[in-house]
């Protein structure tokens, strides 16, 4: 079994950590914010989370993060994400997946050791037009042989219902990290009363089995 390290428990990082944990993978979550770490544990998002400043390479080394196979750098702050990526590279983690907020940020991350750089919001804008020509699902990023970050056109059974009504995470094993609306606006911060409408494109994290199911869900 691979070991996963998730640094940063914002919306994106929390979804990554939760998806891994609910799939019975070994995952350690780190964040400098004690409240976010405690919330993740209390909400059963993960059972192994630590309050830590991941820009401190000494602390990472003492924690033994070099034993992890894949690391996700999910913080949106540019300077900390660069320092964290450098630290992980120095400690010998072979696969580092880092979130970038701009092209220049992404270039720096790639140069200093990130094996994969992702731009969730930008990607949604560029790829949504392809939905008219391709199947309902468009893969964005394969984290491993088991997990995907992907776009999926909201099936009709979701239309007119809120996130809390659908309970998507529990019923479908899917974590929704953003919604692309028909007017091309992107909504990354979803709440329980966020309404899913016809024409919405969901950015989700899930496993292979669920991805196949979603592709055929009408």
Mean pLDDT of each 10-residue bin along the chain, 218 residues long: 93 89 91 95 93 96 95 93 96 94 92 89 54 53 74 90 90 88 82 91 86 76
pLDDT at 132: 46
Helix (H, G, I), strand (E, B) or coil at 55: coil
pTM of the complete model: 0.67
In degrees, rounded to 5, the angle at the alpha carbon of residue 111 between the alpha carbons of residues 203 and 49 is 55
In degrees, rounded to 5, the angle at the alpha carbon of residue 103 between the alpha carbons of residues 101 and 105 is 60
Tokens of 56: 């401190």
Residue 4 bridge partners (DSSP)? 27, 70
What backbone phi and psi angles, to 5 degrees, belong to 55? -80, -10
Helix (H) or strand (E) holding 153: strand 147-153
For residues 46 and 68, the answer to whether their CB atoms sit within 8 Å is: no
Q: Return the axis-axis angle of helices 78-90 and 103-112, rounded to nearest 10°.
A: 20
Q: Where are the alpha helices (DSSP H) in the chain?
A: 11-22, 34-42, 57-63, 78-90, 103-112, 120-127, 163-166, 168-172, 208-216
* 172: nearest Cα among 22, 16, 10, 2: 22
pLDDT at 124: 53
pLDDT at 116: 92
pLDDT at 185: 82
CA distance 165 to 163: 5
CA distance 156 to 18: 26
Q: Are strands 70-73 and 95-99 parallel, antiparallel or unpaired?
A: parallel
Domain boundaries defined on the chain: 3-121, 133-216
- The owner of tokens 């024409």 is 199
pLDDT at 131: 47
* 86: nearest Cα among 116, 111, 59, 64: 111
CA distance 21 to 3: 11
């Amino acid at each position: 079994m691979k070991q996963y390290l998730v640094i940063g428990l914002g919306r994106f990082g929390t979804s990554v950590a939760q998806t891994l944990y609910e799939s019975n993978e070994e995952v350690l979550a780190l964040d400098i914010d004690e409240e976010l770490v405690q919330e993740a544990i209390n909400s059963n998002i993960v059972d192994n989370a630590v309050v830590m400043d991941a820009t401190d390479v000494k602390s990472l080394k003492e924690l033994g993060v070099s034993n992890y196979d894949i690391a996700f750098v999910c913080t949106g702050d540019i300077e900390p994400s660069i320092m964290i990526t450098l630290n992980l590279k120095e400690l010998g983690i072979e696969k580092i997946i880092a979130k970038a907020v701009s092209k220049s940020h992404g270039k720096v991350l790639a140069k200093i050791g990130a094996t994969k750089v992702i731009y969730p919001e930008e990607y949604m804008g560029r790829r949504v037009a392809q939905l008219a020509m391709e199947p309902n699902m468009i893969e964005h990023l394969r984290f491993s042989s088991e997990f995907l970050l992907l776009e999926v056109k909201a099936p009709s059974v979701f239309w007119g219902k809120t996130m809390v009504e659908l309970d998507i995470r529990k019923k479908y094993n899917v974590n929704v990290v953003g919604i692309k609306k028909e007017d091309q606006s992107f909504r990354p911060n979803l709440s329980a009363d966020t309404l899913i409408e016809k024409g919405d494109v969901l950015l989700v994290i899930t496993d292979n089995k669920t991805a196949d199911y979603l592709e055929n869900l009408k």
